[in-house]
């Protein structure tokens, strides 16, 4: 076990009465401060931020500048930090994460137009009722958009394109005359957030939470349109956990967690109005993170409207960071 002899708090004197257990941080992204000598009679410290690994040779933090060896006896502070996310994710990473989210939120109809996905689900959510414009549609963009309009007409939904902000496809669709779907009730501009499951799982869970892979009848107690069930409960593939929190025998919150490609996609987080302010939402997310860790996942991903400032604040407190944004465009 790697255990230091003391902790130093920023701006405080060195203490020798609080051990730091580094075992729990192995395999995580960390920030570690260690003593590296003295200068003028005062201790000198060095910080390392990166992934912490352990081997027979000892502990190493793999920073962007290279590996840094860690002397457990010299460590004065150590903590887990959120995963590193580029300021601007590359297109390949955006495409992969967008497809992962689409697979986690399966539309009843999902047809290919080249590399685009034309999706319909009876109007339940923009995500499941839009054309996911990623890559080459195999035809000129104006023709592809005409196909989107025809697909929407055939399925009784509004023509809408879901496209990463600032991407080549965003510009191409906008150049074709399509505009922001400003009246989209849930929000026309959306942030895609990612975070480390292990960090989220450390949050407190104030009430019992269960995540069965078949929904409790009470999970669907809130009114949903008929088309919603096929999206929310696809029948086992991919695996879904229907989180439900109870207090004093009453349902006080719910969440949907879906396991796809090493990620837990989280959606439908809801806390009963009478139970708000008690950390129920945080507890549901922590339980969903634990559910994912038990199944071998490492990351949490979710999509949140930019206008939903309350939810975004909650996710930020849990270490979730923005990967990219997308928006909905419709014909002018």
152 in a structural domain: yes
Residue 222: its pLDDT value, please? 79
- Looking at the structure, tell me whether residues 50 and 115 fall in a common domain: no
Contact indicator for 300, 200 with CB cutoff of 8 Å: yes
Residue 324: its pLDDT value, please? 95
CA 328 to chain centre: 20
Residue 297's contacts (CB-CB under 8 Å, 6 or more residues apart) are 197, 259, 262, 263, 264
139 in a structural domain: yes
Residue 243: its pLDDT value, please? 97
Residue 1: its pLDDT value, please? 40
Residue 72's contacts (CB-CB under 8 Å, 6 or more residues apart) are 2, 3, 4, 22, 59
- Looking at the structure, tell me whether residues 226 and 281 fall in a common domain: yes
Token pair, residue 267, equals: 């959606």
Residue 18: its pLDDT value, please? 40
1 in a structural domain: no
pTM: 0.75
* Domain-ending residue, one of 139, 158, 188: 188
- Looking at the structure, tell me whether residues 175 and 272 fall in a common domain: no
Q: How many independent structural domains does the chain possess?
A: 3
- Looking at the structure, tell me whether residues 210 and 309 fall in a common domain: yes
Residue 81: its pLDDT value, please? 85
pLDDT in tens, the chain (332 residues): 433 332 333 333 333 334 467 888 887 888 999 999 888 888 899 999 988 888 777 888 888 777 889 999 999 999 888 766 555 678 999 999 999 999 999 999 999 999 999 999 999 999 999 999 999 999 999 999 999 999 999 999 999 999 999 999 999 999 999 999 999 999 999 999 999 999 999 999 999 999 999 988 899 887 889 899 999 998 878 999 999 999 999 999 999 999 999 999 999 999 999 999 899 999 999 999 999 999 999 999 999 999 999 999 999 999 899 999 999 999 99
Contact indicator for 129, 148 with CB cutoff of 8 Å: no
Q: Give the C-alpha separation, 320 to 323, whole Å.
A: 9
Contact indicator for 108, 121 with CB cutoff of 8 Å: yes
Instruction: State the CATH number of the domain containing residue 50.
Output: 2.30.30.100
308 in a structural domain: yes
Instruction: State the CATH number of the domain containing residue 224.
Output: 3.40.630.30
Q: Give the C-alpha separation, 274 to 1, whole Å.
A: 45
2 in a structural domain: no
138 in a structural domain: yes
248 in a structural domain: yes
86 in a structural domain: no
Q: Give the C-alpha separation, 198 to 164, whole Å.
A: 28
Which residue range(s) make up the domain with 288?
Answer: 192-325
Residue 42's contacts (CB-CB under 8 Å, 6 or more residues apart) are none
Contact indicator for 147, 173 with CB cutoff of 8 Å: no
- Looking at the structure, tell me whether residues 286 and 224 fall in a common domain: yes
């Amino acid at each position: 076990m790697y255990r230091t002899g003391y902790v130093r708090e920023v701006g405080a004197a060195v203490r020798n009465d609080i051990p730091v257990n580094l075992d729990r941080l192995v395999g995580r992204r960390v920030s570690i401060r260690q003593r590296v000598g003295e200068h003028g009679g005062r201790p000198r410290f060095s910080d390392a931020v990166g992934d912490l690994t352990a081997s027979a040779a000892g502990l190493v933090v793999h920073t962007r500048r290279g590996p840094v060896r860690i002397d457990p006896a010299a460590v004065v502070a150590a903590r887990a930090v959120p995963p590193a996310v580029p300021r601007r994710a590359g297109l390949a990473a955006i495409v992969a994460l967008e497809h992962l989210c689409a697979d986690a939120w399966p539309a009843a109809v999902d047809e290919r137009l080249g590399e685009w996905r034309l999706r319909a689900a009876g109007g339940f959510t923009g995500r499941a009722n839009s054309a996911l414009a990623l890559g080459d549609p195999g035809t000129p963009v104006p023709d592809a958009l005409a196909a989107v309009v025809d697909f929407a007409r055939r399925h009784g939904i509004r023509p809408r394109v879901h496209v990463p902000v600032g991407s080549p496809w965003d510009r191409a669709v906008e150049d074709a005359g399509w505009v922001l779907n400003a009246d989209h009730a849930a929000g026309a501009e959306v942030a895609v957030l990612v975070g480390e499951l292990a960090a989220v799982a450390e949050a407190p869970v104030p009430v019992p939470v269960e995540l069965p892979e078949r929904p409790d009848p009470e999970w669907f107690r809130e009114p949903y349109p008929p088309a919603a069930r096929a999206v929310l409960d696809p029948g086992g593939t991919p695996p879904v956990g229907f989180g439900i929190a109870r207090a004093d025998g009453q349902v006080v919150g719910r969440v949907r967690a879906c396991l796809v490609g090493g990620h837990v996609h989280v959606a439908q987080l809801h806390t009963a109005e009478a139970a708000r302010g008690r950390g129920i939402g945080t507890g549901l997310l922590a339980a969903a993170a634990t559910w994912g860790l038990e199944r071998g996942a490492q990351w949490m991903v979710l999509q949140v409207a930019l206008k939903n400032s309350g939810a975004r604040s909650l996710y930020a407190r849990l270490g979730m960071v923005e990967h990219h944004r997308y928006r909905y465009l419709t014909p002018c």
